Amino acid sequence: MAAVGGGPIPGGGPSARPGVLPRRRSADGRRHLGAGARSLGDRRRRRLAGHPLVLGPPPHPDHGPRHDAALAGVPDAVLRHRPEPAVWSPLEYCCHLRDVLITQRERVVRILVEDRPTVLPMHREERAGLLRYADEEPSRALAQLRAVAEMTAWSLASLDAGQWARICVYNWPEPATRDLAWVARHTLHEAVHHLDDVRRILVP
C-alpha cells in the first residue's frame, strides 16, 4: 500500500517509526470496534488528540503502513474472524481504512475549494454494518485499499504552502479549526494505528 502522503507534509521530515499506540478501548471498556459500538470513548479521543502523531512532526510518507504486506498470505477465514464480538476483523479494518481514505480525499477537495468548510462525520461505525464490510471479498477490498491509498497520495503530492495552510472546521476530537497539513497528518495517523490494530489481531 502506498504511503498516504505523496511528499513531505509541512512541519515533518524523515523520522523514526512512531511508537505503538495504547490498546484502544471505548468508554464502556470494549475494544475498537463493533458495527454498533463507538470507535473511541470520549476520554480516549481527548488523549489521542495530543498524541505526537497528531500534533507533533508528522511521519515521513516513506514510513507509511503497508496493509497489503501485513495481510499477504493470511487465509480468508482468519481475515474474516473477529477476535471478540465488539472488535473488528482484519477485513473490516481494511474496509474501514479504505473508506477513511476515500472520505479524506474528498475532504481535501472541499478544503481546497471552499472557504472554511465544516467537515462532517463519516459515520464510521454505521458504515461497517450498512456497507456490509464483513461480507466483502478480501482480495478485492485489499486491492481497493491499495488503489485509494495511491489516489490519496497523488492528491497531496504537489500541494504548495498556501494550499497546506487552507483551513476547515474539523469534527475530531471536537469541532476545531484545522489546516490541511493537520488533516494530512491525522490521515496518516489513522492508517498507522489501524495497521497496528490488524497486527495485534493476527499476532495476539
pLDDT above 70: residue 38? no
Whether pTM > 0.75 for this model: the answer is no
pLDDT above 90: residue 1? no
Cα–Cα distance for residue pair 99/122, rounded to 1 Å = 9
Please give the pLDDT value at position 89. 95
Please give the pLDDT value at position 65. 52
DSSP string covering the chain? ---S-SSPPTT--S-PPPPPPPPPB-TTSPBS--TTS-SS-HHHHHHHHTSHHHHSPPPPGGG---HHHHHTT--HHHHH--SSTTS--HHHHHHHHHHHHHHHHHHHHHHHHSSSPBPPP--HHHHHHHTTGGGS-HHHHHHHHHHHHHHHHHHHTT--HHHHT-EEEE-SSSSEEEEHHHHHHHHHHHHHHHHHHHHHHH--
pLDDT above 50: residue 124? yes
- Which residue in the block uniquely carries the three cell numbers 499477504? 72
Confidence band, pLDDT 50/70/90 cuts, at residue 195: confident
Cα–Cα distance for residue pair 56/182, rounded to 1 Å = 10
Amino acid at site 98: R
User: CATH topology for 42-202?
Assistant: Four Helix Bundle (Hemerythrin (Met), subunit A) (1.20.120)
Quick: pLDDT tens for 72-101.
789 999 999 999 999 999 999 999 999 999
Q: What are the boundaries of each domain within the chain?
A: 42-202
pLDDT above 50: residue 60? no
